[in-house]
Amino acid sequence: MAYLCMTHTKERKTVSLERTYSFEAVFIFIYDEGTFNSMKLLQERIRQEGLILSDTVLKVDSFLNHQVDTELALEIGKQFAHLFANRGITKVMTIEASGIQFAMATGIALKVPFVYAKKKKAVTLNEQVYTAPVHSFTKQETYQVTVSAKYISPEDKVLIVDDFLATGAALVGLADIVKEAGAELVGVGCVIEKSFQEGRGLLEERGIEVHSLARIASMEPGRITFIDELDEELAAGQAKVTPHA
């Protein structure tokens, strides 16, 4: 069985409390039953164990990015490998530290190496490097991330994987490193996406394919709504769609 999931362009407005939803264009991705079930399982874990600190901050450190459910991490890697199958990927890339487990799981599933960009240049890293500035939304710091030129080349086809997509700053920085190296960026896979923030739009503006396993439309303490739930409402005619202003 196949499932249709809608993804909306960067023109999408924030979902209001009345669930008014604005967009100019819709892209359709077809997910098989295995991927769809994994997405639902992840959503349920977020609901059960995630801690919503505000309408922009979600804490999932009990199972994703501090204490890690290793079986879930491996399953996430399999799903990214499936979503980007038969694309000739030669490297998986992420940024330290919270994306490492998912990049490694994806690399295992694809049977390719993974490389992570370092936030601080080690004293032993004295060869040619590729660098990009990255601003951390959660830590309110800007890092100069680096990847050794030995580990990415123009022959590589790279898949970027990370735990969160929010402002998109880290992923744009990694995309710049891939471009600087002359490699091909196949796409971006994110575990959780805050779809009410600008990250997806920044990536799609660059023509980058983005897949996220759990896409959050809105959240507040005690309540979280995922994009596919809004899609179901749209399909049933229960949500209002307004033209982009």
Residue 103 has pLDDT above 60, yes or no: yes
Cβ(241)–Cβ(22) below 8 Å: yes
pLDDT at 20: 38
Domain with 43 in it:
2-239
CATH number at residue 31: 3.40.50.2020
Residue 38 has pLDDT above 90, yes or no: no
Instruction: State the total domains in the chain.
Output: 1
The torsion angle over the Cα atoms of residues 149, 153, 154 and 156, rounded to 10 degrees, is -140
Both structure tokens of 48: 């059960």
pLDDT bin (cut points 50, 70, 90) of residue 36 is low
Give residue-wise pLDDT tens across range 134-172: 987 767 788 899 999 999 999 999 999 999 999 999 999
End-to-end Cα separation, the chain, in angstroms:
37
- 95's enclosing H/E stretch is strand 91-95
pLDDT at 239: 54
18 domain-assigned: yes
pLDDT at 42: 95
- Residue carrying structure tokens 């890092």: 143
58 domain-assigned: yes
Give residue-wise pLDDT tens across range 186-205: 999 999 999 999 999 999 99
Parallel/antiparallel/unpaired status of strands 21-22 and 223-226: unpaired
pLDDT average, residue stretch 79-102: 96
130 domain-assigned: yes
pLDDT at 136: 78
245 domain-assigned: no
50 domain-assigned: yes
Q: How many CB atoms lie within 10 A of CB 218?
A: 19
Average pLDDT along the chain: 84
244 domain-assigned: no
